[in-house]
Amino acid sequence: MFMENKASDGEQPRVGVYVCYCGMNIASKVDVEALRQFAEKLPNVVVSRTYKFMCSDPGQELIAQDIKEQKLNRIVVASCSPLLHDATFRKACAKAGLNPFYFTMANIREQVSWVTANSAAATKKAKALVAAAVARVAMHEALEKKRVPVHADVMVVGAGISGIHAALLLANAGKKVYLVEREPSIGGHMGQLDKTFPTLDCSACILTPKMSEVKNHPNITLWTLSDVQEVSGFSGNFKVKVKRNPRFVKLELCVACGQCVEACVFKEGRVPDEYNIGLSKHKPIYMPFPQATPASVLIDPNACLKLSRGKCASKCVEACDRAAIDFEQKVEYSEVEVGAIILATGYQLFDATKMPEYGYGKYPNVYTMIELERLVNAAGPTQGEIVMRDGRKPKRVGIIHCVGSRDKRHHPYCSGVCCMVSLKMAHLMRERIDAEVFNFYIDMRTTLKGYEEFYDRVLHDGVNFVRGRVAEVTDWAMTPGEEGKLVIRVEDTLIGVVRRIPVDMVVLATAMEAHDDADDVRRKFNISCSKEGWFLERHPKLAPVSTFSDGIFLAGVCQGPKDIPESVAQAGAAAAEALSLVDKGFVEIEPNSAWIDADTCSGCKTCIPLCPYHAISRDEQKKVAVVNEALCKGCGTCVGACPSGSAQQKLFTDQQLHQEIEGVLNYV
């Protein structure tokens, strides 16, 4: 019965098949002319053509012309993935007066030519796919896209430089922005850096104005110490539940005068300070850092005697004349509706103890780069004085690039920024303490504007460069000059000799890596990530800040390693994408929703709890299931589960799928 060649709407199908060369992408493997001839002989096919680039204007025009002249009522394009050009060809059909859903694509590029070296096999598979598409398209029906209004507010998750920049752009465009940050202050990693390459402007000087702009912006609602708990809904209409952890200090009252910190019963710091990477300690009540935003102290509930043991003289409460301290604060949950979400959750740094050959954690004078950033910073644990853990000042410093990067045992990718960070640090060590500096690199990557010039400047500074990956940092001395030093063992690959270089201080340029909880976050937002844990963009070139979930965009390093200018540029792009979505006022929804055939539905309720979007309910009068089309996302779960076959889905009807299968089987 399935080979009955009558269209679903009673009309006799007149199919046009268009085989794309895609330049050499398809034509180098698939015999496109043979495919065209094959398609010509398939049932219902009226015309079959090939073209170099079907997606080009002349290619689309070809289809439009045939629709008009040959009275085609079904179109099949055999080319690339529907993800790329489904919309293009649907539009071409619509322009020629044909309902765009009388169209289907056969993917003979990603699923055929790109995945085999065998030309004969490729052509054979392409024929099977085209036969299936021709059989399927006969069963297509005219459908209409639905329009749904969108919510104009936007949420930005993560308030490092990327999140801050995106939030400000949107807020300045008049959109209400919820900015969610899990740390007590905004600013992210950029707030920890001393100077930025290649211009050497002070990181805090360029970041803090933006931080205070966030705080004072009437369109931005800032939630720190907060986490997104749950996301539901769809593009244009998300519902987000945010968990807001207590600060135990009333934000609106605190002026960060610091008298409470002074008064705390602990006279010395006792909690390793995250901002200073543990190089200093803070008290249970503390200010994260001088420019922290919001400018307010907070209390660490695990360290505070009052909060952890219930017993304390609470000197802080006495000291605060604004009565801002509130031990009764509890976790709060806020639920908001937004039209778009920008993820700017950033990164973490590679744990250097995973490479014991470099001695981090074993030898006190081995530092990570971010530790050194704090050490050279005037607001850092030593007020910018460069003294090592053993109290000495380094005379000779070795900077090791690629720690955890370009290493299949850790991260196979290049972190991109470490070369420039290491050059900057080499420069600072020359400038500030006149130290002798050795940089150990595998390949020097200084590709962006002004970067190569900076490398040239550092070479001229007298920094020593050794091309070679360091094998080991050891305290094993072979010569008197090595006694009491850290010895770096490396092959100087440009000379072809192994060298042992004794230094006082070793600095490890550790890799950028995805957060440990990146996978949880991605699940919450229903997006994908690469195997390294970076959030996956929709298309690496043409949709670099979009995701496979409409309405969710990416900014900054959560998508992959980047430096500051790139992160900011990407944040701008994400803001523009979000704006283009929420400003339009509506979204069009693919008409692929499910429906229930009320005549055959037994009312068994199997589908109702299975629906992940809560789109199915039971009509108690008719005793049948009913789908709410506005909520249905077209996932097909109910269709698969329905025991009586009453649940059906547009664009994926049983008839269409059976025809598609028959098409393949008849050919094979």
List interacting residues with another protein (CB under 8 A): 356-357, 402, 406-409, 442-443, 467-472, 474-476, 478, 489-493, 496-499
Task: Report which DSSP code applies to 383.
Answer: T
Long-range contacts of 202-207 (CB under 8 A, 24+ apart): 204/291, 204/379, 207/161, 207/164
C-alpha to C-alpha distance for 250 and 390, rounded to whole angstroms: 40
The secondary structure element, H or E, covering residue 522 is helix 518-524
Angle at 85 between CA 82 and CA 91, to 5 degrees: 115
User: How would you class 446 by CB atoms within 10 Å of its CB: exposed for 0-12, middle for 13-18, buried for 19 or more?
Assistant: middle
- Amino acid at position 529, single letter: C
Of 12 and 493, CB closest to another protein: 493
- Measured from the CB atom, the residue of 50 and 474 that comes closer to another protein is 474
Is the separation of the CB atoms in 215 and 193 below 8 Å? Answer: no
Distance, in Å, from the CA atom of 197 to the CA atom of 422, rounded to the nearest integer, reads 10
Rounded CA gap, 205 and 470, in Å? Answer: 35
d(CA 446, CA 418): 10
All residues at 6 or more sequence positions from 216 whose CB lies less than 8 Å from its CB, including other chains: none
The H-or-E segment that residue 146 falls in is: strand 146-149
Exposure class string for 45-65: b at 16+ Cβ within 10 A, else e: bbbbbbbeebbeeebbebbbe
Nearer to another protein, 443 or 532 (CB): 443
- Cα(492)–Cα(137) distance, integer angstroms: 64
Distance between CA 46 and CA 40 in Å, rounded?
A: 7
CB of 477 to another protein, least distance (A): 9
Phi, psi of 100, rounded to the nearest 5 degrees:
-65, -15
Nearer to another protein, 356 or 643 (CB): 356
Q: Which residues of 584-593 are buried (b: 16+ CB within 10 A; e: fewer)?
A: eeebebebbb
Least distance CB 466 / another protein (angstroms): 9
Q: Counting every residue, how long is the chain? A: 668
**How many DSSP H helices and E strands does the chain contain?**
17, 34
The contacts of residue 569 (CB under 8 Å, 6+ apart) are none
Q: How far is the CB of 490 from another protein (least distance, A)?
A: 5
Residue 353 beta carbon to another protein: minimum distance, rounded to whole angstroms: 11
- Sequence-distant (≥ 6) Cβ neighbours of residue 54 within 8 angstroms: 18, 19, 20, 22, 60, 62, 63, 77, 79, 85, 89
N-term to C-term CA, the chain? 19
| Cβ distance to another protein smaller for residue 78 or 403 | 403
d(CA 418, CA 425): 10
Residue 500: CB minimum distance to another protein, A: 9
- Choose between 447 and 580: whose C-beta lies nearer to another protein: 447
What is the rounded distance in angstroms from the CA atom of residue 322 to the CA atom of residue 587? 48
Hey, what are 355's tokens?
């490479």
Q: Are strands 220-223 and 177-180 parallel, antiparallel or unpaired?
A: parallel
Q: Which tokens hold the place of 329? A: 């604060």
> Based on CB atoms, which residue is closest to another protein, 134 or 470?
470
Encoded tokens for 2: 């399935």
Return the exposure string of 463-489: e unless at least 16 CB atoms fall within 10 Å of the residue's CB, then b.
bebbbbbbeebbeeeeeeebeebbbbb
Q: How far is the CB of 435 from another protein (least distance, A)?
A: 23
> Which is nearer to another protein, 406 or 538 (by Cβ)?
406
- Residues 342 and 163: beta-carbon distance below 8 Å: yes
- The Cα–Cα gap between 63 and 76 comes to 10
